[in-house]
Amino acid sequence: MQPFAQIERLERAEVLDRPAAVIRSTVQRLLSDRRVKDALHGVWLGHPLHAALVHVTLGSFLSASMIDMVGGKQRYSSGLIATGLVLTPPTVAAGWTDWSASHPDQQRVGLVHAATNGLAITCYVGALRRRARGRRGRLLSLAGAAVSGMGAALGGHLAYHLSLGANHADRVRDLVPPGWQPLAALADLPDGTPVRRAAGEVPVFVLRRGQEVTVLADRCPHLAGPLSGGEVVGADGDARVVCPWHGSEFRLDDGCVVHGPAIAAVPRFEARVVNGTLEARIVASAGAPTA
């Protein structure tokens, strides 16, 4: 049996769904300000904020434990533990924000991940408290490292096995055939209503507004939701499509993120009409169309 098979069992542990629903409701209520929510997702960074913070937070804790394990100077270890604890609140806040907009299997593993990390933090707090009383707190520091390692394994499973935080539209540019691809007769496209068509075998979002046509990948970068099933809001240069799954918003003009949980842009296509047929070709990430 593979070492991570037990983690995969957590994905199917429906007993976790009830506490997950309560916590999710609480987190979403606390995140009523969308600006705060976007900031914690990392929309401003173009990268999941939790992933960026956790490297420093976890690195501080584990480095402290390594110093304690080899008998290094306690003030260095204590300083690193204190650094990890200072960074814990924003790291936790960003993590719960991402978790609240995830699939049920991700949320089940995420709950255990959070509980494990909570236990590790308790160990490190206990180590500092013992040191404040003149004791070493070494065993608690080492216990914190062991539990943190388990929490990190769960976090890695979420990121790499369940793809939480990954860009689910990144490979579209590799899968679309090169050059112009026929999508549909322009006259057959409804006016003002997004539809799904295909560029080769890749689904694309198509929206005709009069003679103007927008073509994007029909795949939300957050968790691959179908954008063609979403609502179009705003007007002119502020027109956006809202993902029907978790509410990410993308500008129609360029596919860029307006609101998370997505933190990456939707791949966009250049469009033209030839003899009444709409054609499209993928636009490279730098902004220029591919050959």
252-276: per-residue pLDDT in tens?
A: 999 999 999 999 999 999 999 999 9
Is the confidence at residue 134, as pLDDT, over 90? no
Output the pTM of the full model. Answer: 0.90
State the chain's mean pLDDT as an integer. 93
Burial class (CB in 10 A: 0-12, 13-18, 19+), 15: exposed
Amino acid 1: pLDDT:
57
In the sheet where 231-233 sits, what is the strand order?
Answer: 231-233, 240-242, 249-251, 257-259
Q: What is the pLDDT of residues 236-248, one digit of tens each?
A: 778 999 999 999 9
CA dist 291 and 283 (Å) reads: 9
Q: What is the DSSP letter of 238?
A: G
